[in-house]
Amino acid sequence: MSKLLALLQDGRFHSGQALGEALGISRSSVWKQLQRIEKEFDLRIHKVQGRGYRLIDPFVPYDRERLASTLKDIGWTLHLHDVVDSTNSEALRLLGQGIEAPFVVLSERQTGGRGRRGRAWISPAGQNLYYSLGITIHNGPHQLAGMSLVIGLAVRDALHRLGVPDVGLKWPNDVYASGRKIAGILLELTGDPAGECHVVIGIGINCNMSAANSAIDQPWTSLRNELGKGIDRNQLLLVLSESLRGYLHRHEVEGFASLRLEWEANHIWHGLVASLSAGDREIVGEILGVDADGCLRLLVDGSERTFSGGELRLRLRDDS
């Protein structure tokens, strides 16, 4: 994290002279660094003559030592970045380099964040959680079945523990609060899915993002909106990691079948009529729930059918 950016993180005005003295550089050098910060981190800096500079959207940066120490206690290592293209992409690169899992990749900003079906994930600096967990799977079919749904349960549990009301899930990997999307999940696999392989679990959570800097093309909310105050992302990360560890362990030992009823109880579209599409194919049916492998169960023309696949898109029918 830039030392200059750290000085500005409180959102208060700081004069160019004071910033220069704190950093041991000239005022002109301060100005050049501010321009670089605006470009590199995509942050907005308010400039007022006679008062100085301040971040329009203040934030609390990640505490590297605190996070690394706590994650080490549960056997995970931390890879923290100021900027990456995508935490999932970085995690896949680390696995390709032989870095041992489990590990967490975390970044203040993403330049190429992505969701399912190649959609862009809006990633302003310092506002949200961009988190990827790389793990090793030893029993592919057993451990992979329903995994994205289990991750959704872990995210829901973490948000609930932080006080967010009315958190629910949408098949297969979206998390909602008050009827609006608050988090998304993207799983990517490398290796042999029938045996030992690696899975990168990507999680994006809207934390302190404001509508003013959002280009999201669907109804959304954030922790700040739901709680009425800003959230410390360090606390969120630690609570989330604890939830993930617990749910992943239960999933590994007992399988998704043991978590199926819990997932269905938190599915916000249960019993509604939805349209399921993959490419140019569209199927309309009533959502019955999921099966023991996490596949979607739909009542289509009086018969129950199951569906699975990362490229499927589920939308509510207008008359639901």
Q: What is the pLDDT of residues 203-219, one digit of tens each?
A: 999 998 765 445 565 78
Most confident stretch, 25-29, 60-64, 245-249: 245-249
Looking at the chain, which residues constitute the CATH 1.10.10.10 domain(s)? 3-55
What is the model's pLDDT at position 118? 55
Q: Is the pLDDT of residue 39 over 90?
A: no
What is d(CA 191, CA 154) in angstroms, rounded to the nearest whole number? 25
- Give the mean model confidence (pLDDT) for residues 243-266: 96
Residues 6+ apart with CB under 8 A from 108: 1, 41, 61, 62, 81, 82, 83, 125, 126, 130
Instruction: Give pLDDT, residue 210.
Output: 67
Share of the chain above pLDDT 90, in %: 62
Feature table: binding site for biotin: 86-88, 110, 114-116, 181
**Which pLDDT score, from 0 to 100, does residue 111 have?**
87
Give the model's pLDDT for residue 37.
79
Strand pairing category for 273-278 and 281-290 = antiparallel
Provide the b/e sequence for 232-253 (b: ≥16 CB within 10 Å).
Answer: bbbebbbbbbbbbbebbebbbe
pLDDT at 301: 94
Which CATH code fits 3-55?
A: 1.10.10.10
Cis peptide before 102 (omega within 30 of 0): yes
Stretch 238-256: mean pLDDT: 96
Query: In which band, very low, low, confident or very high, does the pLDDT at 44 lie, cut at 50, 70 and 90?
Result: confident
Which of 51, 119, 313, 315 is labelled catalytic? 315
Position 200 confidence tier, pLDDT thresholds 50, 70, 90: very high
Q: What is the structure's pLDDT at 309?
A: 76
Query: Coil, helix or strand for 26?
Result: coil
pLDDT given for residue 13 in this prediction? 92
Instruction: Taking residues 22-49, report their average pLDDT.
Output: 85
Element (H, E) at 243: helix 233-254
Q: Which residues of the chain are in CATH 2.30.30.100 domains?
A: 270-316
Token digits of residue 132: 């990827």
Enter the CATH code of domain 270-316: 2.30.30.100
Go through the chain and tell me how many residues it has.
320
The catalytically annotated residue of 27, 54, 93, 181 is 181
Query: 318 pLDDT band (50/70/90 cuts)?
Result: low
- Asked whether the predicted pLDDT for residue 285 surpasses 70, the reply is yes
Q: Is 315 a catalytic residue?
A: yes
> What superfamily does domain 64-264 belong to in CATH?
Bira Bifunctional Protein; Domain 2 (3.30.930.10)
Q: What is the mean pLDDT of the chain?
A: 89
Read off the pLDDT of each residue in 11-23 and give the average, rounded to a whole number: 90
Six token digits for residue 224: 């700040």
Average pLDDT over residues 291-307: 95
pLDDT for the residue 311? 72
| CA 267 to mean position of chain CA atoms | 19
Using the structure block, give the residue that is written with the tokens 């999933």. 251
CB atoms closer than 10 angstroms to residue 51:
12
- Please tell me the predicted confidence (pLDDT) of residue 193: 85
The 10s digit of each residue's pLDDT in 217-242 is 578 999 999 999 889 999 999 999 99
- Out of 116, 156, 170, 233, the active site residue is 116
- The reported pLDDT for the residue numbered 205 is 96
Tell me the percentage of the chain whose pLDDT exceeds 70: 91
Alpha carbons 154 and 259: distance in angstroms, whole number: 11
Q: Is the dihedral of CA 130, 132, 133, 137 positive or negative?
A: positive
Name the percent of the chain in helix, strand, coil, to the closest 5. Answer: 35, 30, 35
Intervals of CATH 3.30.930.10 along the chain: 64-264
257 pLDDT more than 90: yes
117-172 pLDDT, tens digit per residue, is: 556 556 677 789 999 999 999 887 888 999 999 999 999 999 999 999 899 999 99
The arrangement of strands across the sheet holding 273-278 comes to: 303-307, 296-300, 281-290, 273-278, 313-316
Active site residue 181: yes
